[in-house]
Chains A and B, each alone.
Chain A
Amino acid sequence: MSTPAPDTASGNASGPDLLYSELEEDLRASVRSMLADRSPHNAVLARCETDEPYDPAVWKALAADLGCAGLAVPEKLGGAGASWREAAVVAEEVGRAVTPVPFLTGSVIATAALLAAPASASADRADSADGAGAESVAALLADLAAGHATAVLAVPFSSCPTPAGSGSGAGFPETVRVDADGHLTGTVTSVADASIADVLLVPAMAASGPAFFAVGARAAGVTRDAVISLDLTRRLSDITFASAPARRLADADGAVQALARGLTVGAALLASEQLGVAQACLDMSVAYLKTRSQFGRLIGSYQALKHRAADLWAAIAQARAVARYAAVCVAQDDPDTPVAVALAQAYCSTVAVRAAEECVQFHGGIGFTWEHPAHLYLKRAKSASLALGTAAQHRAALGRLVNLPPAN
């Protein structure tokens, strides 16, 4: 019995447009120059030595001044009305600069989850204990899009968008429970960027099944414990909810959908961030290969290094095509999205790690020092490869999606 692999988006004549538009290049240029100016490596490193790696001024410049937080949010909800394609270009630049900003977690994952939450669910306020301001999903989205508030999805950063189980609700987290009075109790470990979030979006189990809540990050009953994180530029927290007041945003399938969409769009755009990380590592390496001499020759003239640099460049060229395809698919809600995203994560994770590891090796001793930025990229790349599903998990997901089943 053989069913061919699904081949939807790839079916039209020219295929999806994988190039960058002029608009995207303009956006890239303004983000890049702002980050070069406001978030150079030495500033990132200096901040990483403190408990507060995030520079609120840089985040405000990116999110609000350049309008990047609301790129994919429709204009009627207060956003820029662009798409995940443009947001992916921002993710590339954020990766390129290893800037500690909650762009991926807030402007991509949390925002995508909210955009997917059926707005009707927000009307249910019976169990909301937050009397002061029961915001709707729309109001929250408007705040996020304007850069007035930051939200993150309260799930372990390692969560995979395509859980191995089947059926709706499979893999829905159960570590947080909804109490009888509608408050939340439980723990979530390894939540990325939670320390600077204003709002936590929490998937939780109610008696009736999956539900999706907004919780004030500084509300009573919420504790965020900083974790010493492998990635210095994207910190994790363990979060404890002890009868924390919560606003219900979605129920049942709506909650499952919001979570899945957040993780899916996140995984798609993480690939672009990884592309930016890899490109930065290659650029840094090539620059060094052209300036460092040993044995009376530039080290870049040795084929042992030259050929590895060429191979890396070729792999990054492929990562770019793959990351663009994932961004295009989530932007257009293409039916090939699950394949595109699993492919992007299976491929770009490994390329970014390889680029960062080579970057250290190309630099010799200096690349092993704390002062050199190579380790910021290595830590970002390795952590990112574990985030939102490992390459192996995504390969397994692909096996299910394209009908290449495992051995019995």
Chain B
Amino acid sequence: MLNERIKALLDGHPPASTPRLEFLRARFDSGLAWVHFPAGLGGLDAPREQQRIVDEALAAAGAPDNDPHRIGIGLGMAAPTILAHGTDEQRRRFLRPLWTGEEVWCQLFSEPGAGSDLAGLATKAVRENPGDEASDWIVTGQKVWTSMAHEARWAILIARTDPNVPKHKGLTYFVCDMTGPGVEVRPLRQITGEAEFNEVFLTAARIPDAHRLGPVGAGWAVAQTTLMNERVAIGGGAQPREGGVIGVVARAWRERPELRTAAAHDTLLDLWTQAEAARLTATRLRQQLAAGGPGPEGSAAKLAFARLNQEISGFELDLLGEQGLRYDDWSTGSWASERPTTVDFAGRGAGYRYLRAKGNSIEGGTSEILRNIIAERVLGLPPEIRVDKDVPWKDLAQ
């Protein structure tokens, strides 16, 4: 059935003669975008693992893809959240252009005062007409580290709608129009020299109530869906053997015998072993997801991914020796601040990979926070002491 659908899509829209966007829309409409999504929303209610069959068949036919490195936040975080918590209207409005890449998404979660302690955030959203259940919301505050905000059409946003209750209880989840008035995006330059992330200032930005995702006050629960998916998206993706940074290093080893030393050989094979272990773990994680079990390995996969990416990219510079001294930035040949449109941890030069990997243990939940999560939710160890848990947010030291 799957193969027939693929054939029908290719017959109806020959990749060679169909404009890219037209092909992607047709692919979405035939349920081959993400097969595990519901029918009518780009999927077929099929097992997640069948996606690879579709992707391989379409790639072999020379079909264009949706450039996932450009729309990672939409695919990995916004989409599963909209699917789980959105209304039918919201799903129909947002999911198709999200998947085709017509609309790029970003994530307005972190704030200067709220990173790991995300629930402590201060950006506030108030009803324009208090008491009116359908009133627009007016949002004011500052977000930070917002990747790809400069490219984004939409954002997933958490804001405080009730300061009089403890911090987790007064949050609401919204979809924010990044092109609307009151939304200002300023680049933040990072250690790679470029500005992949941004500060976002929200000054009386308006959000219609129809763009609220989930009930008022349920923002924390909705955000959990985003965060869980973010971790699986970062650490649990499907890769062939030697996909990712390890493949880059393995190729260098094969092609350049002059770089080899005995000590580096054992380190390389140790890293290769760990990368393959992580890959098989991600495979098993996806099989668990397909079998219905949530699989707490999600946070573990992200934790392992971050450490490994850092070790491998550090090893790559060691291996390159003199060449490792020279920073091979992507296009300008300098440390000039660029505004990238895609993020690919395995792409570009060795120096970039080394530096970019340092973000892997911070973005999407720091490694320390992930260890807390595993220790408490999986192993049942005592929770962190939380002095602010039951105090109304407005009474906390800000």
Q: Which A residues form the contact surface with B (CB < 8 A)?
A: 1-5, 7, 10-11, 13-15, 17-19, 286, 289-290, 297-298, 300-301, 303, 306-307, 309-311, 313-314, 317-322, 324-325, 343, 346-347, 392, 395-396, 398-399, 402-408
B61 at the A interface (CB under 8 A): no
Residues of B within 8 A of A309 (CB): 375, 379, 381
Given the known inter-chain contacts A290-B381, A301-B381, A307-B375, please indicate yes or no for A17 contacting B241, CB distance below 8 A: no
| Chain A residues whose CB sits within 8 angstroms of the CB of B250 once the complex forms | 5, 402, 404
Q: Classify the interface of chain A: helix, strand, loop or mixed.
A: helix
A289 nearest CB neighbor, chain B only: B381
Task: Render B349-387 as a binary contact track against A, CB cut-off 8 A, 1 for contact.
Answer: 000000000000000000010111111101111111100
Q: Can you identify 15 A-B contacts, CB atoms within 8 angstroms?
A: A3-B254, A7-B240, A7-B242, A14-B286, A18-B280, A18-B284, A290-B380, A300-B382, A303-B368, A309-B381, A310-B303, A347-B277, A399-B265, A404-B254, A404-B269
Q: A15-B283, A18-B284 are in contact. Are A2 and B265 (CB under 8 A)?
A: no
Residues of A contacting B56 in the complex (Cβ-Cβ under 8 angstroms): 13
Alpha-carbon separation in the docked complex, A321 to B371 (Å) = 20
Q: Is the CB of B291 within 8 A of A306?
A: no
Tell me the smallest distance from the CB of B160 to a CB of chain A, in Å.
Answer: 28
Dominant SS at the B interface?
helix
Complex contacts, A307 vs chain B, CB 8 Å = 368, 371-372, 375
> Are A2 and B300 closer than 8 Å at their CB atoms?
no
Kindly supply a per-residue 1/0 record for chain B positions 265-277, scoring 1 wherever the CB is within 8 Å of any chain A CB and 0 otherwise.
1101110111011
B53 on interface, CB distance cutoff 8 Å: yes
Closest to A324 in B: B284
Q: A11-B240, A306-B381, A404-B254 are in contact. List 17 more A-B contacts (CB 8 A).
A: A10-B283, A289-B381, A300-B381, A307-B375, A310-B374, A310-B375, A314-B297, A317-B281, A317-B297, A318-B281, A320-B281, A321-B283, A346-B273, A395-B273, A398-B273, A399-B265, A405-B257
Among B47, B368, B370, B379, max chain A CB count under 10 A is at B379
B201 at the interface (CB under 8 A from A): no
Q: Which residues of B contact A (CB under 8 A)?
A: 47, 49-50, 52-53, 56, 240-242, 250-251, 253-255, 257, 260-262, 264-266, 268-270, 272-274, 276-281, 283-284, 286-288, 290-291, 297, 300, 303-304, 368, 370-376, 378-385
- Cα distance A14–B290 in the bound complex, in angstroms: 10
**A324 surroundings in chain B (CB, below 8 A):** 280, 284
Cα distance A319–B380 in the bound complex, in angstroms: 21
Number of A-B contacts (CB under 8 A): 165
Smallest Cβ-Cβ distance to B300: which chain A residue: A314
Residue of A nearest to B256 (CB): A2
Contact A19 B288 (CB under 8 A): yes
Q: Contact between A395 and B270 (Cβ–Cβ < 8 Å)?
A: yes
A392 pairs with B281, CB closer than 8 A:
no
Given A2-B251, A406-B265; A290-B240 close (CB under 8 Å) = no
Closest CB in chain B relative to A322 CB, distance in Å: 5
Q: Are B253 and A13 in contact (CB under 8 A)?
A: no
Whether A322 and B280, one on each chain, are in contact in the complex, defined by CB atoms closer than 8 angstroms, is yes
The answer to whether A321 and B273 touch across the interface, beta carbons within 8 angstroms, is no
| Contacts A7-B240, A13-B49 given; does A311 touch B281 at CB 8 Å | no
Task: Verify A407–B381 contact, CB threshold 8 A.
Answer: no
Q: Check if B261 sits within 8 Å of A407, measured CB to CB.
A: yes
A321 and B281 contact, Cβ closer than 8 Å, known pairs A3-B254, A396-B269: yes
Checking A298, A322, A407 against B262 with a beta-carbon cut-off of 8 angstroms, the contacting residue is A407
Inter-subunit contact B381/A404 (CB<8 Å): no
7 shortest interchain CB distances as A-B pairs: A314-B300, A14-B49, A407-B260, A301-B382, A310-B374, A395-B269, A310-B371
Also in contact, A404 and B379, with CB within 8 A (given A1-B254, A320-B284, A321-B281): no
Tell me the nearest residue of chain B to A396, going by C-beta.
Answer: B269
Q: Is the CB of A404 within 8 A of B280?
A: no
What B residues does A406 contact at CB under 8 A?
Answer: 260, 262, 265
A19 contacts B372, C-beta separation under 8 Å: no
Contact B254–A10 (Cβ < 8 Å): no
Say which residue of A7, A301, A320 sits within 8 Å of B241 (CB atoms).
A7
**Alpha-carbon gap, A19 to B49, bound state (A):** 14
Query: CA separation between A5 and B254, bound complex, in Å?
Result: 10
Inter-chain contacts of A404 with B (CB < 8 A)? 250, 253-254, 265, 268-269, 272
Distance in Å: Cβ of B128 to nearest Cβ of chain A = 44
Closest to A298 in B: B382
Give the chain B neighbours of A13 by CB distance below 8 A: 49-50, 52-53, 56
Residues on the A chain within 8 Å of B257, using CB: 405, 407-408
